[in-house]
Chains A and B, each alone.
Chain A
Amino acid sequence: MGLKDAQTRRGVDATDVALLQSIEDGLPLVTDPYREIGRRLGLSEGEVMARLWLLQSSGIIKRFGVVVRHRELGYRANAMVVWDIRDEDVSESGARLGSQDCVTLCYRRPRRLPQWRYNLFTMIHGRDREAVLRHVDRLIEKLELHDAPHEVLFSRRRFKKRGARYSTEKAIAVITSSGRGS
């Protein structure tokens, strides 16, 4: 169908941006949310659903569904766990760490020697600090990371956390300002 071809060629178009923006606080909690969004944007219900499907299948939307808040559900501790993985192993270790239940982010970043040796960053949530540390021990066992130096950086104070709304607007502003190529 034309829409799909156009979208895979172009990446995200202006209508997609408007659509993503309109749902950044979530779907409206009404019986027919896609029709309601379409009404706001001047799109048919079918086009809203088709675009959301394409945005998922092209990977721009990583996940579509219920998004929970960890802290309010009792996951009070979060740690950034950083690992020094040999460069030739980092893709494999990253892929394995990134698919574990307790890991909510998993990025490769550059080392900055001599100040900073770690090249793989994971975020791990737990009920408390002990639970996070148990997760780390289990990951080391399961993925055989005994030889990989690591550090656990618990968060202490949060000085700033922009809400989902603003950060999505920012991301979308970035998409828009850089044009439509992908």
Chain B
Amino acid sequence: MNNIRPLLSDFDRRLLDEFQRDFPLEPRPFARIAEELGTTESKVLDRLGYLKRYGALSRVGAVLRPNQVGASTLAALAVPPDELESVAALVSAYPEVNHNYERDHAYNLWFVLTASDRAGIDRVLEAIAERTGLQPLDLPMLDDFHIDLGFALQWA
């Protein structure tokens, strides 16, 4: 995807920067934002729509805490380089896999698995081990230390 940063106005930047948390919970939230930015509600709505269409804005919405219930894990495989694409395709084909990245490391394939319970995770890991002959690292989250205050954008 292209970098749209050079196309953004100062107004766009403030919209993206200043409302990442504690979004107004009141009947006309965009009017409240317009008031803070010294503009109109319709301009705020127009620009948010524009930023969403061009990809800078994912959404105005919620970031959920991971793994409230259910099961997930981060897994990694050390794949011989000439087999990486075929093993990656095999892994990606499982509906339980929702991210799958190549990374610079001896463990070069990293993927996230989610299922309704731990047994569902184990089944997929065992199947992958059996089909690839490679033993996955199984690294479930134990603690979440991240305090999500939004992402401080640096425009300079």
Q: Which of A1-9, A137-145, A147-155 contacts B (4 or more CB under 8 A)?
A: A147-155
Contact present for A27 and B60 (CB under 8 Å): yes
Bound form: Cα–Cα A119–B59 in Å: 32
Bound form: Cα–Cα A155–B110 in Å: 9
Beyond A155-B103, A178-B116, is A63–B145 a contact (Cβ under 8 Å)?
A: no
Contact present for A174 and B70 (CB under 8 Å): yes
| Nearest residue, chain B, Cβ from A174 | B70
Contact with B along A146-182 (1 / 0, CB 8 A): 0000010111111111101011101101110110001
Beyond A52-B25, A71-B1, A171-B114, is A60–B64 a contact (Cβ under 8 Å)?
A: yes
Contact present for B15 and A11 (CB under 8 Å): no
Contact present for B26 and A49 (CB under 8 Å): yes
Least Cβ distance of B118 to chain A in Å? 12
Asked if A106 is at the interface (CB within 8 A of a chain B CB), the reply is yes
Given the complex, which residues of A lie within 8 Å of B100, measured CB to CB? 158-161
* Residue with the highest number of chain B CB atoms closer than 10 Å, among A97, A105, A173: A105
How many residues on B have C-beta within 8 angstroms of the other chain's C-beta atoms? 81
Contact present for A29 and B104 (CB under 8 Å): no
Contact present for A65 and B143 (CB under 8 Å): no
Least Cβ distance of B74 to chain A in Å? 7
Beyond A63-B149, A175-B70, is A34–B62 a contact (Cβ under 8 Å)?
A: no
Contact present for B139 and A116 (CB under 8 Å): yes
| Nearest residue, chain A, Cβ from B117 | A178
Contact present for A161 and B99 (CB under 8 Å): yes
Least Cβ distance of B119 to chain A in Å? 13
Contact present for B105 and A151 (CB under 8 Å): yes
Given the complex, which residues of B lie within 8 Å of A97, measured CB to CB? 145
Beyond A71-B1, A110-B142, A112-B138, is A66–B150 a contact (Cβ under 8 Å)?
A: yes
Bound form: Cα–Cα A165–B108 in Å: 27
| Nearest residue, chain B, Cβ from A30 | B45
Contact present for B148 and A63 (CB under 8 Å): yes
Contact present for B25 and A34 (CB under 8 Å): yes
- 21 residue pairs A–B, Cβ–Cβ below 8 Å: A32-B27, A59-B65, A61-B63, A64-B22, A64-B63, A65-B22, A66-B60, A68-B151, A69-B56, A74-B3, A98-B146, A98-B147, A106-B146, A108-B141, A112-B137, A151-B105, A159-B88, A159-B92, A159-B109, A161-B99, A168-B64
Using a CB–CB cutoff of 8 Å, the interface residues on chain B facing chain A are 1-5, 15-16, 19-23, 25-31, 41, 45, 48-49, 52, 54-66, 68-71, 74, 76, 88-89, 91-92, 97-105, 107, 109-111, 114-117, 137-153
